[in-house]
A = this chain, B = another copy of it.
């Protein structure tokens, strides 16, 4: 399941809902991405006060569904969940939740990692940081593309 929303999410409730009524689930792996809080700790003395997440409605869902489908083709999964927030977020707030449920733990771990690696490079979200030194668009990491390519070459 895929959800794009401005509101926060309750990890415990989401996972409980994901596994409820499906007795063959042996394990759930989840990843929660948070807004890092650098208050006063940025190397350049910058203080980030908020983060704005922009996205491309329609394409976001399309890309996340494609990633979910690929994960389900690659591993034996019982349930998958991707929740991604958009709009303005404060330091320490939750940004993303990916959860995968499977009979066996390896499938759960690997697929959650796979979904995060592809989400980071394929899903059209952009972060803008607002700080005491002004606003700037976060630059993409080369390491994220490298992680995606590792999966493609497996």
Contacts and interface: CB of A to CB of B under 8 A. Distances in A.
Interface stretch (A12-20, A53-61, A63-71, A121-129): A12-20
- State how many copies of this chain the complex holds: 2
Say whether chain A's binding surface is mostly helix, strand, loop, or mixed. Answer: mixed
A134 interface: no
Contact of A28 (B27, B34, B38, B91): B34
Nearest to A120: B105
Contact of A13 (B12, B26, B38): B12
Given A12-B10, A112-B109, A29 B27 contact: no
Interface residues of A, number: 35
A23 to B, nearest CB: 3
Interface in A1-60: 10-13, 15-16, 19, 23-34, 36-39, 41
Interface of A: 10-13, 15-16, 19, 23-34, 36-39, 41, 91-92, 103, 105-106, 108-109, 112-113, 116, 147
